[in-house]
Chain A
Amino acid sequence: MALLKGTLDVLVLKTLSWGPMHGFEITKWLESRSGGRLDITDAGLLQALHRLEARDLLAAEWGVTKNERRARYYSLTAAGRTQLRAESAALIDQFDAVTVVLTARSARA
């Protein structure tokens, strides 16, 4: 199932809260934490990174990976950190509401 709109952005911000990572590291972390249950394509992730950088939520810098490969390393900006706090709270709240509704056991309010 496709992710809810905007969810991917928050997930990326959350991932980078641990420190600067390049694109594949981010994907890898998300896959391992979610047990591969999140439907994220690699092209979609790279685009999300560009989008977040354009909004000044991320900063990027070229670096070298463990495998001696050049890659863009992304890190959170101050604005990104603020955005992460606000958006994750809102998202958790929303999922909570969805859960309550979907697990309801009777028609009474």
Chain B
Amino acid sequence: MHPRDIRAGVRRLFRLPLRTSAQVGAEADEELRSFVDERIDDLVSQGLARDDAHVEALRRLGTSIDAAAASLHTSAITRERRMHVRETVATLRQDLHYALRTLRHDVGFTAFAVAIVALGIGASATVFSVADALLLRPLPFNEPGRLAWIQNGTGRGLSSQTAQVNPFLSLVKENHAFSDVAGYFAFFGVGDMQMSTGTGAIRLSAVPVTQNFFPLLGVHPSLGRGFTAEESAWNGPKAAMISHPLWERYFASDARIIGHVVSLNGTSTTIVGVLPATFDFGSVFAPGARIDLFTPFPLTPETNRWGNTLAMIGRLKPGATFDGAAADIKALSPRITKENANANSFTATLSPLRDHVSGRTRQGLVVLALAVAVVMLIVCANLSNLLLARATTRQKEMAIRAALGAGRGRLVRQMLTESIALSSCGAAIGAVLAAAGTRAIAHMNAVSLPLLSTVSVDAKSLGVIAALAVAAGLAFGMVPALQISDAHVHEALKASGRSATDGRRGQWLRRGLVILEIALACVLLVGSGLLVRSFLNVLDVDLGFRPDRVVAVRVDGDDNAFKTDTQFVAYVDEVLRLARQIPGVSVATIADGLPLGSNRSWGITAGGADYVKGKSQGAFIRVASDGFVAAMGMRILSGRDILPSDVKPGEPVVVINQAAANALWPGQSALGKMLKVGNDDRRVIGIVGDVRNLALEESAGNEVYLPIRQVLDFSTLTLIVRTSVDPAAFARTLRTALAPAVPNLATNEVQTLQGAVDKAVSPRKFFTELLGGFSAFALCLALLGIYGVISYTVTHRTQEIGVRIALGASARQVQGQIMRETIELAVAGIAVGAIAAWLAGRTLSGFLFGVTSADPLTYAGMVAVLSIVAIVSGWVPARRASRIDPIIAIREG
């Protein structure tokens, strides 16, 4: 038989090279030729002349000989390809069948492997889904890549990021880069709007937006229309657009809502449009907030007087780039400042809207992505090790299969099929975990991540899970699979015991993998250690106020409730009087907000000097009534608190914090000095301790407290009481007691100051817990890894240890030697890990508070924890080694 005649299947069985398409073509030619020749012979035997027979044979072909040959080539090549696919599938099925049978045999191992792969892949896929929603998926707007976030200034507070109306109008008019620029009122307050309909009142959040806001984003109302120019004018007809969820929840998806009039903070307002379900303002611009309503923001002299108010979004002109637009705005800024001499200065910078939205989250996600990658690596190293150990015990089985004709490649493929089957089972459970994980994150109130509601396990995440499954299977299966060398197999068949089954190379591989595991666990431990230390430092921060037992409730009246200042002062007095009568209330006060909530800043200038643009300092503004300092638990350093007698016709006064006093009058007493706040000169009557108003991590800047009875400029009113009663039980009492003055108070509006502080630390807490969870998982795997290797060494060397005991080695000596090996592994792992952790630590720097990324205490803690883990995991096998009975060991070995 000619070698080329061997059937494809047989070739594959014996791993002979498959035929090339040229060979297949030649075969088809030969078949055709032989067919025609047979036909000619047949015709000749029937009595035809050979030439005539030739012509007739070609006619019977039905087509020209070349055309027949060409189509036979095609059909033969198709045939070979299809047969090849079929055989590959058949082999795979066979391998898979075998793999599943093997895995079923070893339930403990399979369950453990599947479980850790599931945890690893579940965590990875969850982090991927979040990263996808935040960083990869386009924003839910028309051509989102051309939207820019324009920021006026670079400060932390909202006032130093927003623009005043007149400069904004100049920007709209004079820029060359944007087809349009829109804005929204950045100082909108969550829960600022009370909507009353026939049936009752609910508290909602509304954002005033410029008329072109929705058209610029490309968001079209799903019902009704957008705002008209008339509605966007000062004192124009009152109109509102409502969010889709509000429409569903409160108006039962009734299409007749358009044109309906509701009362918003006491003003009759027409609902003109319903936004589409896909539009979620909060998820993009105000993470964590649910925005229900939109009202028109007039761009008029009246709103210009409010100072910096507008957050700006621009849409790039066709052909314009972000760099070009940035240059344009930079060049334009001084001119705009000059043109609007009476307004705040304008120095705009811009960034792609997507970058602004993902912002700080990006860094956190990078850290989490690194962490899950490390976790996956540890999972793979661990499984690799377990499979290596199994491979040695299965060497006989492999040897027999090899003897029966399976080539090395086939055995390697069999092993890889097994590991991929394992990882796929894990991935299936991991997908379920990821779905649960993303659901939990999407519904989490504690962390205000942008675009959270869009986080889910979608087709892309499933693709990533599948890819991870294959990659992980290959990663942890490759080393054990390649360990099967032909020499190995040979040896295994010859040898009778396990003594010959393990080479030095296998030993080193296993040790190397454990060292890798320890090192990776080190990195995670150091990372989470640094975060835990930062978290504790944040909790230890001197807030400047005492949040315990402080209860706050919104008591804003209707917009038109206070027609005169006298009416307003009477309202404040009455609410405070009612609150102070409640048993258990020690102090009560009314202010425009709580620390760690919304913020605004004004310019302040010392000594009553004229307000010079650029010369004054920014200060955080809090408008409060008497009792604020006591209710918040702040410290008065000198002077006095605001009193009920600080009213409008009296002398304008102000209380400032220590930082402001030091900044404005260094080395002098600030008491009694004059301070220009905004447009008014005020006498400093008191100096109080600094309060962390913006964030727990940020020390206080200038803070200014204005008497509420003198300054009637506030967006919200909050009643704050310090009570000795349990805050939860207090809500009902408060509602009843305040009823005469505040009839519509809802009990669910009562919040505690401690709650506000907790909410401020919750993202950090969540992040710390997540990384802590990862490192605990890593630690468990490292423990198992060390235990596995040492335990294996002991089993493997039973005979040798038996001999040594027989020759007089004490149990202590045997134990000592095993422990020494364990500690060697741990030391190597920790050394490598410490270096890796030091290198990786820098990615964490943005999240650290009060510690450096090279914090010695954290590193010491990591070394201690890992040493303990190593000693514990080495101790058990070491004890077993010391109890080996030499007689049994030598006889059986």
A interface, CB within 8 angstroms of B: 22-24, 27-28, 41-44, 46-47, 50-51, 53-56, 60-62, 65, 67, 69-72
Contact A50 B42 (CB under 8 A): no
Using known A-B contacts A43-B63, A54-B82, determine if residue A23 contacts B35 with beta carbons closer than 8 Å.
yes
Excluding A50-B76, A70-B34, 20 further A-B contacts by CB distance (< 8 Å) are: A23-B31, A23-B38, A24-B35, A24-B42, A28-B42, A41-B63, A42-B62, A42-B68, A43-B63, A44-B62, A46-B32, A46-B68, A50-B79, A54-B78, A55-B82, A61-B7, A62-B2, A70-B30, A71-B38, A72-B27
A60 to B6, CA, bound (A): 11
In the complex, how many angstroms separate the beta carbon of A81 from the nearest chain B beta carbon?
18
| B5, CB-defined interface residue at 8 Å | yes
- B25-67 vs A, CB cutoff 8 Å, 1 = contact: the mask equals 0011011101111110110000000000000010011110001
| B71, CB-defined interface residue at 8 Å | yes
| B835, CB-defined interface residue at 8 Å | no
Contact B61 A41 (CB under 8 A): yes
B-side contacts of A27, CB under 8 Å? 39
A46 touches which one: B7, B35, B67, B78 (CB < 8 A)? B35
Using known A-B contacts A43-B63, A51-B79, A72-B31, determine if residue A56 contacts B86 with beta carbons closer than 8 Å.
yes
Which residue of chain A lies nearest to B63 when distances are taken between CB atoms in the complex?
Answer: A43
Using known A-B contacts A50-B72, A54-B79, A72-B31, determine if residue A24 contacts B62 with beta carbons closer than 8 Å.
no
Contact A43 B61 (CB under 8 A): yes
A65 to B57, CA, bound (A): 18
A70 to B26, CA, bound (A): 13
Using known A-B contacts A65-B34, A67-B41, determine if residue A46 contacts B72 with beta carbons closer than 8 Å.
yes
Contact B68 A43 (CB under 8 A): yes
A23 to B34, CA, bound (A): 9
Contact A71 B63 (CB under 8 A): no
Q: Please indicate which of the listed interface residues A43, A44, A47, A53 has the most CB atoms of chain B within 10 Å of its own CB.
A: A43
- Interface residues of B, dominant DSSP: helix
In the complex, how many angstroms separate the beta carbon of A55 from the nearest chain B beta carbon?
8
Contact A51 B35 (CB under 8 A): no
A20 to B279, CA, bound (A): 70
A70 to B34, CA, bound (A): 7
A-side contacts of B78, CB under 8 Å? 50, 54
A53 to B5, CA, bound (A): 16
A-side contacts of B36, CB under 8 Å? 42
| B643, CB-defined interface residue at 8 Å | no
Using known A-B contacts A54-B82, A56-B86, A61-B7, determine if residue A67 contacts B71 with beta carbons closer than 8 Å.
no
A29 to B505, CA, bound (A): 66
B-side contacts of A44, CB under 8 Å? 62
A22 to B67, CA, bound (A): 21
B-side contacts of A67, CB under 8 Å? 37-38, 41
A51 to B27, CA, bound (A): 15
List of 10 A-B pairs having minimum Cβ-Cβ separation, nearest first: A41-B62, A24-B38, A54-B79, A43-B68, A50-B75, A54-B82, A62-B5, A71-B34, A23-B35, A42-B61
A69 to B30, CA, bound (A): 10
A45 to B648, CA, bound (A): 108
- B1-30 vs A, CB cutoff 8 Å, 1 = contact: the mask equals 110010100000000000000000001101
